[in-house]
């Protein structure tokens, strides 16, 4: 679900700057070499701009990843440096940060992201 509410987007930017930017980048650019494993075997923080894969995931999955942690949505045994934020951020704050991130994507990426959330139609 898209929002263009200026207050929600401003809140999302504030939450992003406080909790996300240190890993995902001030400009949503992610960590360097984000597609290559770190020496720990974990993956670097991916970009949240249009160059990354964030928009490939439906909004409800993104919400769950932020709230409950990546591991719940990843293959068995996957470990991430990203904590679950359910004990830190309210649901409204999580939705706001996701709305902010989506608002930075070009219109075609926003459209493709929304299409991923639509149920498949049988023929």
Q: pLDDT at position 84, please? A: 97
* pTM score: 0.89
pLDDT at residue 1, rounded to an integer: 47
Tens-level pLDDT at each residue, the chain (123 residues): 456 799 999 999 999 999 999 999 999 999 999 999 999 999 999 999 999 999 999 999 999 999 999 999 999 988 899 999 999 999 999 999 999 999 999 999 999 998 887 665 554
Q: Provide the pLDDT for residue 116.
A: 80
Write the DSSP assignment of 74-123 as a string of letters. S-TT---SPPP-TTTS-HHHHHHHHHHHHHTS-HHHHHHHHHHHSPP---
Residue-wise DSSP of 32-73 = TTTTS--TTSPPPPPP-STTSSGGGS-HHHHHHHHHH-GGGG
Taken in order of first residue, the domains within the chain and their CATH numbers are 6-117 (1.10.760.10)
């Amino acid at each position: 679900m898209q929002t263009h509410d200026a207050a929600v987007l401003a809140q999302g930017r504030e939450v992003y700057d406080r909790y996300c930017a240190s890993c995902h980048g001030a400009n949503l650019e992610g960590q360097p070499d984000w597609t290559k494993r770190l020496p720990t075997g974990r993956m670097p923080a991916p970009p949240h701009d249009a160059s990354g894969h964030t928009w490939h995931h439906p909004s409800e999955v993104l919400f769950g990843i932020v709230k409950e942690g990546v591991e719940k949505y990843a293959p068995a045994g996957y470990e991430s440096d990203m904590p679950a934020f359910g004990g830190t951020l309210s649901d409204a704050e999580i939705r706001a940060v996701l709305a902010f991130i989506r608002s930075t994507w070009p219109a075609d990426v926003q459209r493709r992201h929304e299409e991923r959330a639509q149920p498949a139609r049988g023929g």
